Amino acid sequence: MDLLRQLRHFTVVGEELHFGRAAERLGMAQPPLSQRIRELERELGVELFDRSRRQVRLTPAGAVLLDEARELLAGVTRMRELVARAGRGEYGTLRVGVPPELPGSVLGAVLTEFAALAPEVQLELSEFTTAEQLQLLAGHGLDAGLVHHPLDPAAGLESGPVIEPPLGVVLPRVPPLAGEAASGGDITLAELAGRALVTYPREAAPALYDATLAACRDEGFHPVRVSTARSPEVMLGLVIAGHGVAFSHPAIARKEPRVVWRPLAPRAPLWRLVFAWPARAPHPAVAPLVRAATGILRGHEGGALAASGPVAEPAPRPWNAVYERS
């Protein structure tokens, strides 16, 4: 027995209290409608209607069933709507991985933009390195992730447009690099010769780590020591403490007044980013996320991640007198 169909028929009869009008409303003949109500009564083992020549009335059992059937049918309708919307990427939860170095201001802009596109999709964000994200994406532990480009073609992932934010060097705003810091111009890798480097651990993104050090060597920068930091905060701390210079996007340097960011030129390592997601059974909300996030990452704050050029010098603050004092 198709219980849901039987309940729909019963509900109409219960509302009309007239088999003829109910049959007309349902677009069917009265005899089969009466037969289905009888089948439902036999299935439940109770009389649902008190039938007389003059009127049809609900029995106490029929009144209870009418309330329950309405609630059940409304729940089924809501379930169908939610499932259909989830299939279109308009409802549900999207699990997204982001790198630890993604600035909070950029992340906030992405969340706001995506919320406007898909207001009933909850973003479940987690910080992971590129290596960690790729492993999770392969096992469908994430629906999408912002990772370093390029991707392994055999990884079974699809990817969005490549984002190429500007890469520069983070220098302490103190001697002996005060000269470079104050110049405001581009710095070549060769000018960093003899200095140490602070970068992310190789296990976070092995291909990017190797390519970065290879680019340094090719341009005459052989770091005397390589220190690693998993988070931007630790990286900035090591730079301030004189453990080396670091490569980063301008937005990272803006967090700390005791450092300065300068663009690398003419040839610098490439730190490209890309959104990736499982090629098999992708989450339908990935497309609007990639569209929103890519637009933000390519144009946030007029170029905090995407545009090239030096970061403007901050306005003088009380601590400048302390940290810039020779």
| Alpha helices for the chain (secondary structure H) | 3-16, 19-26, 30-44, 60-87, 104-117, 130-138, 178-183, 206-218, 232-240, 250-253, 286-299, 320-323
User: Within this chain, do residues 152 and 175 fall inside the same structural domain, yes or no?
Assistant: no
- pLDDT tens readout for residues 117-136: 999 999 999 999 999 999 99
pLDDT of 107 above 90: no
Interior/surface letters 19-34, b for 16+ CB within 10 angstroms, e for the rest: beebbeebeeeeeebb
Write down the pLDDT at residue 315. 44
Q: Is residue 309 part of a domain?
A: no
User: Within this chain, do residues 172 and 254 fall inside the same structural domain, yes or no?
Assistant: yes
Q: How far apart are CA 86 and CA 78, in angstroms?
A: 12
Lowest model confidence (mean pLDDT) among 56-65, 153-162, 194-203, 290-299: 290-299
Report whether 133 contacts 159 (CB < 8 A): no
Give the H or E element holding residue 92. Answer: strand 92-98
Average pLDDT rounded to a whole number, residues 166-183: 72
Please state, rounded to an integer, the average pLDDT across all residues of the chain: 86
Residue 77: CB atoms within 10 Å: 10
Q: How far apart are CA 5 and CA 26, in angstroms?
A: 11
Using alpha carbons only, what angle is made at residue 127 by residues 124 and 128, rounded to the nearest 5 degrees? 120
pLDDT of 141 above 70: yes
CATH number at residue 191: 3.40.190.10
Q: Is residue 314 part of a domain?
A: no
Lowest model confidence (mean pLDDT) among 109-123, 146-160, 274-288, 310-324: 310-324
- pLDDT tens readout for residues 5-40: 999 999 999 999 999 999 999 999 999 999 999 999
Share of the chain above pLDDT 90, in %: 58
Q: Is residue 321 part of a domain?
A: no
Write down the pLDDT at residue 304. 42
Residue of 185 and 159 predicted with greater confidence: 159
Domain count, the chain: 3
Lowest model confidence (mean pLDDT) among 2-6, 107-111, 145-149: 107-111
Q: How far apart are CA 230 and CA 16, in angstroms?
A: 69
Residue written as tokens 């040839």? 267
Write down the pLDDT at residue 302. 44
Confidence (pTM) = 0.76
Tell how far CA 218 is from the center of its chain: 36
Average pLDDT rounded to a whole number, residues 92-98: 96
CATH number at residue 32: 1.10.10.10
pLDDT of 314 above 50: no
User: Within this chain, do residues 160 and 289 fall inside the same structural domain, yes or no?
Assistant: yes
Whole domain around residue 200: which residue ranges? 168-263
pLDDT band at residue 268 under the 50/70/90 scheme: confident
pLDDT band at residue 305 under the 50/70/90 scheme: low
pLDDT band at residue 298 under the 50/70/90 scheme: confident
Write down the pLDDT at residue 178. 55
Q: How far apart are CA 261 and CA 324, in angstroms?
A: 15
User: Within this chain, do residues 206 and 226 fall inside the same structural domain, yes or no?
Assistant: yes
Average pLDDT rounded to a whole number, residues 163-172: 87
User: Within this chain, do residues 77 and 95 fall inside the same structural domain, yes or no?
Assistant: no
Write down the pLDDT at residue 93. 96
Lowest model confidence (mean pLDDT) among 278-282, 286-290, 302-306, 309-313: 309-313
Write down the pLDDT at residue 163. 87
Using alpha carbons only, what angle is made at residue 323 by residues 321 and 325, rounded to the nearest 5 degrees? 65
- pLDDT tens readout for residues 198-210: 999 999 988 889 9
User: Within this chain, do residues 95 and 123 fall inside the same structural domain, yes or no?
Assistant: yes
Q: Is residue 318 part of a domain?
A: no
Q: Which of 62, 86, 110 is the last residue of a domain?
A: 86
